[in-house]
Amino acid sequence: MGQYPSTSSSSVELNRRDTPPSEGLGLGWDHGLDLPSIPPESSAVPDLGRADDDAGGGVDFTSELPDECLAHVFHFLGSGDRKRCSLVCRRWLRVDGESRHRLSLDAQADLLNFIPPIFARYDSISKLSLRCDRKSISINDDALILIALRCTSLSRLKLRGCRELTDLGIAAFSQHAKNLRKFSCGSCSLGAGAVNAILDHCTGLEEISIKRLRGIHDGAELIGPGVAAKSLKSICLKEIINGQCFGPLIIGAKGLKTLKLIRCLGDWDSILQTIGSSTPSLIEVHFERIQLSDAGLAGISHCKGIEILHIVKIPECSNLGLCSIAENCTQLRKFYIDGWRINRIGDEGLVAIAKQCPNLQELVLIGVNATHSSLSLIASNCPKLERLALCGSDAIRDAEIACIATKCEALRKLCIKGCPITDVGIESLALGCPNLVKIKVRKCRGVSNQVAEWLRERKGSLIFNLDAETEDEIGVQESAVEFAPMFAQQAAAPDVPSSSNDRSTMFRAKLGLFAGRNFVACTFRRWSNGENSSGGNL
């Protein structure tokens, strides 16, 4: 969502696919709308319902159309069209304002003066995003409290770059935002007190996402679940220096279903060992670039209901941890591993997954040297496997691809990137995988354009995307896999010892967190029916 300066012609950005009141609320595309300079009751706004046919005016055929239907029509219009329609007459202006449920504002300091007229017109806003760029002064506590008083139906709040907000302001806001269900905060100066205030006052809070909060540092107060302990379902922590202060929150959220820990410093083993026995409801887990060992994986494996697991660039996780996951998490459906090419995860762990997780539908292996022995077992024991990605592995050759073609009958989508396969391996796919609808091959120098044309002729309905690049480019550019999840850059990493005397030192040296700021992005997108479609979310 873009932002617009909050001047006298303040611009407001809202959701294009916002569902009508009869269908509830939903996330979707965004489009902008300028607040009209004419007040709603101004005589300058024409009333089409009173048009005089004798005077040459037209008949307003929308006068008998219910407001709900008119609002539904507005939702299909683009940014400019909806803005112009809101100025046609007083009724259209009112319906447009009442049917808006999502708003994105440029949260600079002068927004304070425009909050009353904005929320007088858009009085049904339930999803609000406040963003401020780094070079500007953001709104302060007074503006946020005024928003809470004016926007009584607010259920989702997203704060980005609002550095003038304080813990006291968030505490006052939370006392008026009783209906808040989703709270996201990033790049602000808030501390543990602000997060605790949200958790202590918002009884229906379901999702909380915290990213780069400057006030959370070593020695910060602990963050507990508060009154949201029973309702909280999703916790996402990104780039937190002292993430361990969230330990009581993670452990105390008894109904937690989704946990994401991404680039957060500190040792997470002890917290995850505790959560394994206290949070049986956990379904989705994402770990990326955190200090975690096999002991932590063994702890989280006691959450036997886990269906989605991402383990991304965690150097201390090995086959032993995967064996613990396989033994307990037998309902696993989606498994994503980025082994960072350090050879600690391989056939042994994948064989355990194949033997214990028959419901596997999606498997993504990056920098993991899986050979014929493990892939054959996965293909045989996981009959529901529909999506498979093999990236950056020297062990994936024609024999492994032939094995997949022979045994993966349910496979629909296959991605191969940076593997030493040849035309022979691609040809084998034409003889197997009867349900295969899409193949994407990138940076595999042994695959030629000739085999691509041959495969298209042999299987006309098959979508085959070939991007053969040089080996030097492998691991540097984006690796786009057009099914969920998609993944981006892969950085080649040197081999590291299988053990370390100083875990913290090795972890910081390996990841370089908060020093170089050169984080390798992992981007997730939806595979649509078209070849070049992509999706985004709030």
User: How does pLDDT run across 37-46, given as a tens digit for each residue?
Assistant: 444 444 444 4
User: How does pLDDT run across 82-96, given as a tens digit for each residue?
Assistant: 778 888 888 888 888
**pLDDT above 90: percentage of residues in the chain:** 58
Is position 512 within any domain?
no
Beta strands 308-312 and 284-288: pairing type? parallel
More confident call, 275 vs 106: 106
User: How does pLDDT run across 395-435, given as a tens digit for each residue?
Assistant: 999 999 999 999 999 999 999 999 999 999 999 998 889 99
Q: Which residue has the tokens 């806001």?
A: 173
Distance between CA 103 and CA 122 in Å, rounded?
A: 9
The Cβ of residue 383 has, within 10 Å, a number of other Cβ atoms equal to 13
**Do 226 and 476 form a contact (C-beta atoms < 8 A)?**
no
Would the pLDDT of 323 be above 70?
yes
Q: Which residue has the tokens 């690796």?
A: 479
Is position 232 within any domain?
no
User: How does pLDDT run across 293-309, given as a tens digit for each residue?
Assistant: 999 999 999 999 999 99
Would the pLDDT of 34 be above 60?
no
| Domain boundary pick from 85, 102, 119 | 102
Predicted pLDDT of residue 85: 86
Predicted pLDDT of residue 468: 66
More confident call, 528 vs 104: 104
- Please report which confidence band the pLDDT of residue 57 belongs to, taking 50, 70 and 90 as the band edges: low
For the chain, how many structural domains are there in total? 2
Average pLDDT for 156-162: 97
Is position 81 within any domain?
yes
User: How does pLDDT run across 309-318, given as a tens digit for each residue?
Assistant: 999 999 999 9
DSSP symbol at 521:
P
**Do 306 and 335 form a contact (C-beta atoms < 8 A)?**
no
Is position 127 within any domain?
no
Average pLDDT for 172-199: 95
- Please report which confidence band the pLDDT of residue 503 belongs to, taking 50, 70 and 90 as the band edges: very low
| Domain boundary pick from 79, 102, 125 | 102
Q: Over the chain, what is the mean pLDDT? A: 80
Q: In this structure, what are the phi and psi dihedrals at residue 486, rounded to the nearest 5 degrees? A: -95, 155
Would the pLDDT of 530 be above 80?
no
Is position 476 within any domain?
yes
Q: How far is CA 505 from the centre of its chain?
A: 30
Give strand pairing partners of 79. none
424: CATH: 3.80.10.10
| Domain boundary pick from 67, 102, 137 | 102
Which run of H or of E encompasses 425?
Answer: helix 423-429
Q: What is the DSSP string of 226-260?
A: GGGGTT--EEEEES-TTGGGGHHHHHH-TT--EEE
Predicted pLDDT of residue 217: 76
Is position 454 within any domain?
yes
**Do 183 and 208 form a contact (C-beta atoms < 8 A)?**
yes
Distance between CA 218 and CA 212 in Å, rounded?
A: 14
**What are 71's two structure tokens?**
């609002």
Predicted pLDDT of residue 328: 95
Is position 55 within any domain?
yes
Lowest mean per-residue pLDDT among 46-60, 207-221, 296-310: 46-60
**pLDDT above 70: percentage of residues in the chain:** 76
Is position 482 within any domain?
yes
Distance between CA 252 and CA 273 in Å, rounded?
A: 14
- Please report which confidence band the pLDDT of residue 456 belongs to, taking 50, 70 and 90 as the band edges: confident
Would the pLDDT of 506 be above 60?
no
**What are 271's two structure tokens?**
């917290």
Question: What domain range includes position 440?
Answer: 390-487+522-538
Collapsed DSSP state (helix, strand, coil) of residue 412: coil
